[in-house]
Every structure is written in structure tokens, then in C-alpha cells.
Amino acid sequence: MQGKRVLLIVSGGIAAIKIPETIRRIRELGGAVRCVLTRGGEQFVTPLSLSALSEDKVYTDLFSLTDEHEMGHINLSRDADVIMIAPASADLMAKMAAGLAGDLATTVLLATDKPVICAPAMNVRMWEHAATQANVATLKKRGIIFVGPTEGDMACGEFGMGRMAEPADLVAALQTFFAAQPGPLAGRHAVVTSGPTHEPIDPVRYIANRSSGKQGHAIAAALAALGCRTTLVSGPTQLADPAGCDVVRIESARDMLAAVEAALPADIAVCAAAVADWRSADAADKKIKKQAGDDAPALNMVENPDILATLSVAGNKRPALVVGFAAETHDVLDNAHAKRERKGCDWIVANDVSPETGTFAGDDNTVHLITAAGTEDWPRMSKTGVADQLAQRIAQHFEAAE
């Protein structure tokens, strides 16, 4: 972030109260922030507080003679390396999608040729509304990078998707963006699977596992940070979408396979998802009712498709490098070696998921990288550290092959 200039557009929403902390963090990392505050944004955070933290003027008015004289709305974006909109209200995103330019923020956004990172924040129903989703799709198609929203309790008392990403996530998105300009994996495409799958028993019950998605999401972010176009196919998680990745959300193993196959061709596949090995053969389409005196229903299980094994034999669509994970509770290395052979992947990352290791859902991991050349024991480190090291190894692999 050292020396990077961020133009931060702050629109109306309670999440604007997270912006002073975001500015503080960007500046701590050596970045410069200049703010544009909309009329709505001014209801939640004052120009004075943003100005004090950014140590710069805060711009609010399209028709301010002083501002136009000193800077000019075109120069606001010309002077920036990136524009971040946080919070991005439903209204602002709709105006962007429609190409409206009725105030300073929308005029800057219509006039800019700089990359834009958008952090939406709104009520869950507004986020889920078809109009908002269509606007998001339009903006993504135009190359706007999205960070969040996430799921959680909302200021309006509801629960769901629509909370703005936290200041740490906004800063991480900026770091990812700057790190990816351009990287050793530029021009390559990676497909990463992450999180658990949910296998329905009936419309209200499902079989799942303890994966949080932290490891897989970190790998997707690390690959994107090296300039790789990254498609993340994720099962249900509570995590924000990693910045700079195309994210496809799915529920079941069969959905995951379809999404992975749709994302091909790819140079790299990393299967970090904890895919359910089995599903109920005959998931009921109505809730299975419990009647007094009934025996517990028996589940008739069938095997799910194996995504890693399918990718490893995908003929001319096989990614050049297929990396699997092995989640083991005992005989970790022996089982992982056997899994690599059986599934036909190039590398396998073995990790111990016994309850005492805290690997599932924890922030740290201890892994062993198994390749045709042998086994490397990596020290215990954060899942982000594992992801960064794995992404670096993948980049070296392609550099060596060139």
C-alpha cells in the first residue's frame, strides 16, 4: 500500500461508521486516502472526521466552485490508483449500472477509467432483490471488483446477506488488488473449491461437515493476488467473497462439480473443499414428518461424484496442475500418499483434522505438500500463510515449466 492513492467514495448507510477505521488502517500501511462523501453518507459520518483521518479535503459537491477550481471532478479519479466505494448503497449501485451522473460520486464513477472496488451494504431484502442482483451482475461484467457483503445481524434488526465487509476485509481487498498488478500468474486461470457441501435429506434438513472455507478462500485470494484469474466455487460459508475472484456459490457436491466443469478450461485446480462423499439417494421433496411411535427413518446413501478425481482425468480439459487436499485424522501421510495415487492429482496437501488440531474452522494449519518429487513438511502457520506459500509454489512450478 506504500504510496498508493485510494479515492474512497462513502455513500449513505449505517456501515459508513466503519470508514474512519478503514482510513486509519490504509494510512497505517502507507496508503493515501481522499474521500468523496455523498449526501446520504453525510447522515452517518461527518466530513470533518473523514478529513481529520485522511488529512485531506473531503469532497461533497459537484457544483462547488472552490472544489472545481482546486481539483475538478475529473482530476479526483485521475489522481487515484484505485476507487473504493464503501459503503456502496443499493441506490448508488443502481445509478452506476444505469450510467447516471447526478452528483459528485456518480459523476466521478462515470468519468473514471480507474479500477473500482465496491463494498455493498444494505438490508438483506434490498440485496436479494432482482433489481440489485441484476445491477451487481452488470457492474461485475464491466470489471467492478466486489468485496462482500457478508451475512449477519443488521442494524435494521434482520439477519442475512447485506452487511458491509469489515475494515480489515476492505484493506485486504486493496492489498490483494495492488499485489495483483501484474503478478507471476497473470494470464493463467485457476479454479479453487472451498467450504463444505450441503446434501439435502428433505427441504429443511441436510448433511454437512465442519469446513468453514477459510483455507480454500485464502488460497483463492492468494492466487488472485499473484495475478491469476481465479474462479472460486464455494459451498455455504459465512465468509466474504475474496477480492478479485469470480465466486460461484453452490450447495451440493453435484452443484459443485457442475460449477467446476462450467469454469473450465483452467491451468490450475485446487480442491480445498470438504465435499460430502455420500448423499441421501432419495431426498424427500417435502419435510419428513415425525409421527409418534415411528421408527427413526433410515437414510439410503449413494456416492457423490468425486470432483478432484474427475478433474484429474478430464482429458484435454485437464488443468495442467491439479492440487488436492487430504483431510485425515490418523496415518496422515500414508493416507495422503494413497489418496494422491488413487485420485490421480499432481500434488496433495495433507492436513490433520483431528478435533484437537483445531484445523476445521480454526485460523492455523499444519500441512505437508506431497508431489512426485517427495514430501515437504511445512511448519504450523496461519491458513493465509499456507495459502500464500502454496500460491508461490504454484507460480514457481509454472515458471520452471516455461
What is the C-alpha separation between 281 and 277, in angstroms, rounded?
A: 12
For residue 307, the minimal CB distance to ligand PMT (Å) is 3
For residue 376, the minimal CB distance to ligand PMT (Å) is 16
Single out the catalytic residue among 35, 118, 156, 245.
156
**Binding map of ligand PMT across residues 328-347, x = CB under 6 A, - = no contact:** -----------x--------
221 binds ligand PMT (CB under 6 A): no
Angle subtended by helix axes 90-98 and 104-111, to nearest 10: 40
What is the C-alpha separation between 351 and 400, in angstroms, rounded?
A: 26
Indicate the length of the chain as a whole number.
402
For residue 365, the minimal CB distance to ligand PMT (Å) is 6
**Binding map of ligand PMT across residues 259-288, x = CB under 6 A, - = no contact:** ------------xxxxx-x-----------
Among the residue ranges 20-28, 104-112, 300-308, 387-395, the one whose residues contact ligand PMT (CB under 6 A): 300-308
Residue choice 117, 192, 326, 395 for contact with ligand PMT (CB under 6 A)? 326
Interface with ligand PMT in residues 72-101 (CB under 6 A): none
For residue 275, the minimal CB distance to ligand PMT (Å) is 4
What CA–CA distances, in Å, run from 96 to 89, 122, 135, 155? 11, 16, 8, 25
353 binds ligand PMT (CB under 6 A): yes
Residue 352: CB atoms within 10 Å: 18
HSE toward the beta carbon, residue 58, CA cutoff 13 A: 23
Residue choice 215, 231, 234, 384 for contact with ligand PMT (CB under 6 A)? 215
What CA–CA distances, in Å, run from 377 to 90, 169, 382? 47, 30, 15
Residue choice 54, 89, 107, 212 for contact with ligand PMT (CB under 6 A)? 212
Start-to-end CA span in the chain (Å): 31
Residue choice 22, 106, 230, 351 for contact with ligand PMT (CB under 6 A)? 351
Give the type of residue at 49: S
User: Do you find a cis peptide bond into 149, omega within 30 degrees of 0?
Assistant: yes
156 is catalytic: yes
Supply φ then ψ for residue 83, to 5 degrees.
Answer: -110, 130
Among the residue ranges 28-36, 101-109, 167-175, 205-213, the one whose residues contact ligand PMT (CB under 6 A): 205-213
Residue pair 176/140 in contact (Cβ under 8 Å)? The answer is no
Active-site annotation, residues: 156
Which residues contribute to the site for ligand PMT (CB under 6 A)?
Answer: 193, 211-216, 253, 271-275, 277, 304, 306-308, 324-327, 339, 351, 353, 359-361, 383
